[in-house]
A and B are shown apart, each in its own frame.
Chain A
Amino acid sequence: MKILDTLFGRTKAAPADLDRLFALPGAAVNLDVALGLGFANRAGVCVKPAGNEPFEEALNEAIELAKLDHLDNRIVDDRYGYRWAIFSGAGLEDLVTAVHGVNSTLADRALGNQLLCSAFAFTSPKRTLPVLLVYLYKRGTFYPFAPVGGEKRDTETELSIRAAVGVDLPVEAELERWFPLWDNPLMS
């Protein structure tokens, strides 16, 4: 099938393995033990708005379905034209479920192409800015992002995080894909 795809120039969307999200609580324990990073009770899903009615409906419905009674949520549009659905006010298991819900609802509606990533914020007393564990929807892998302000990132910490959670989580092997998310709504 792959050869035929190449010959005919067909791009297949990579199958997402959303269940990998559920490995996060286990990995979070290692993060805490190894690096003192605790979950900041904030997570978000980043989507590219398709600019039409069906998409808006689907997104709103996904958020409604996903959030439990005691979850706060807000929608933020960032300066790149992407939309964030931010969930907060609950522990990691609940937020993982919420994020997983949004992702799978959109994927079931064949809107998986609009999904960019999901991110979970971790903090420690030593750091001014939170560290994000980013889940790339299309790759099905995680990577860390540790900004230190002014569009600089703390790559040593990121590589340490990779070492700490690499056993539990599928970490993105290609470092070239560890794209930063400057100025995103999960920072505050």
Chain B
Amino acid sequence: MPPTRFPADKGLSARMAFTVFAMGLLFVAFIAALWALRVPIALVVIIAVVVVGAQYWFADRIAMFSMGARLVTPEQAPELHAVVDRLCALANLPKPKVAVADSDIPNAFATGRSQRAAVVAVTTGLLRRLDNAEVEAVLAHELSHVAHRDVAVMTAASILGILAGLLTRFAFYAGFFGGFGGRDNRDQEANGLAFLAILAVSALVYTISFLLTRALSRYRELAADRGAAIVTGAPATLASALVKVSGEMGRIPTQDLRAAEHMNALFFAPALAPGLSLSSLFSTHPSLERRLDQLSRLQNQMGRRG
């Protein structure tokens, strides 16, 4: 990313640094606790590293498969490629692969293990709902994720949670099948307690690391919004795209009634009560208001600089 004319957002950087620090602290405390309980860490760590490594290496294929996205060539989607080309020139990034997912839900994502092996994807629902400037703003947001190496950062951050989760599972099964044996009552009791302790610690670590990972993810989203605003120079366009996609408008379908008629016949599922939503602690994205807030602050800063 080119050096920016705008002052750094100290608050956002501070929050991110604190989150990463807290996770590091947690990691150290976790290893210490495991050592105190005399658990063979080596095996668990090896398994976790292999799993996370595979997930990281194949990040782009996994994401594309789960979203149903197909790669598109410049001949198949000339306008989309043109927008990506312009943005990469502006942001000084190597050009990622471009993919399109056939879905009416407006969405976009970026994935890939490095800047050189990255993929940026949009759904057809997004292309139908937004005009060209807004599509450009959304793609700039996704390219910011690539530029900030968010896949690597979030994968590293999730290692702790995966480790704790694995250990929880091992402790549970080990305790169930073997840990409650022992030659006499006192051994039995000590073994049982030890495994219960491992279970409790792992579960606690997993919960805390989950919440911290989610918080970090929300901060990275805000940073990507900021990156997009700076690269395009138009925070208001990204704001309008976000409103169209995540607000009420994003829920209005673009598929014809007559094509969707088979769905209309079945009314057995009650809709979720309005207002029911995931707790903000669990959310991977910051709330729409918060994102619009940041974007309008950037808009004001740009206005002042002329």
Is B254 within 8 A of A153, CB to CB? yes
Is B254 within 8 A of A155, CB to CB? no
A177 to B264, CA, bound (A): 8
- A138 proximity list for chain B (CB < 8 A): 264-265, 267
Query: Smallest distance from the beta carbon of A40 to chain B beta carbons, Å?
Result: 20
Interface membership of A187, Cβ < 8 A: no
A14 to B268, CA, bound (A): 10
- B248 proximity list for chain A (CB < 8 A): 159, 175
A113 to B264, CA, bound (A): 11
Query: Smallest distance from the beta carbon of A34 to chain B beta carbons, Å?
Result: 19
The size class of the interface chain B forms with chain A is: 20 to 34
A173 to B273, CA, bound (A): 11
Is B257 within 8 A of A181, CB to CB? yes
Is B128 within 8 A of A151, CB to CB? yes
Query: Smallest distance from the beta carbon of A12 to chain B beta carbons, Å?
Result: 9
Is A178 within 8 A of B256, CB to CB? no
Residue of A14, A48, A156, A180 touching B254 (CB-CB under 8 A): A180
Interface membership of B305, Cβ < 8 A: no
Decide yes or no: A151 and B257 within 8 Å by CB, A136-B264, A138-B265 being known contacts: no
Is B259 within 8 A of A80, CB to CB? yes
The residues in A between 88 and 114 inclusive whose CB is less than 8 angstroms from any CB of B are 113
Decide yes or no: A48 and B261 within 8 Å by CB, A153-B252, A180-B254 being known contacts: yes
- A178 proximity list for chain B (CB < 8 A): 252-253
Query: Smallest distance from the beta carbon of A183 to chain B beta carbons, Å?
Result: 8
Interface membership of B54, Cβ < 8 A: no
The total of chain A residues at the interface (CB under 8 A) is 33
Majority-rule SS of A interface residues? loop
Is B256 within 8 A of A179, CB to CB? yes
Interface membership of B10, Cβ < 8 A: no
Query: Smallest distance from the beta carbon of A57 to chain B beta carbons, Å?
Result: 23
- A158 proximity list for chain B (CB < 8 A): 252
Query: Smallest distance from the beta carbon of B33 to chain A beta carbons, Å?
Result: 47
Interface membership of B38, Cβ < 8 A: no
A58 to B253, CA, bound (A): 33
In the complex, the chain A residue whose C-beta lies closest to that of B244 is A155
**Which residues does B use to contact A, with CB under 8 Å?**
128, 244, 248-249, 251-261, 264-268, 271
Apart from A11-B268, A175-B251, A178-B253, 14 more pairs, CB < 8 Å: A14-B267, A80-B258, A80-B259, A82-B258, A116-B261, A116-B264, A117-B257, A136-B264, A151-B128, A156-B249, A159-B249, A176-B251, A179-B256, A181-B257
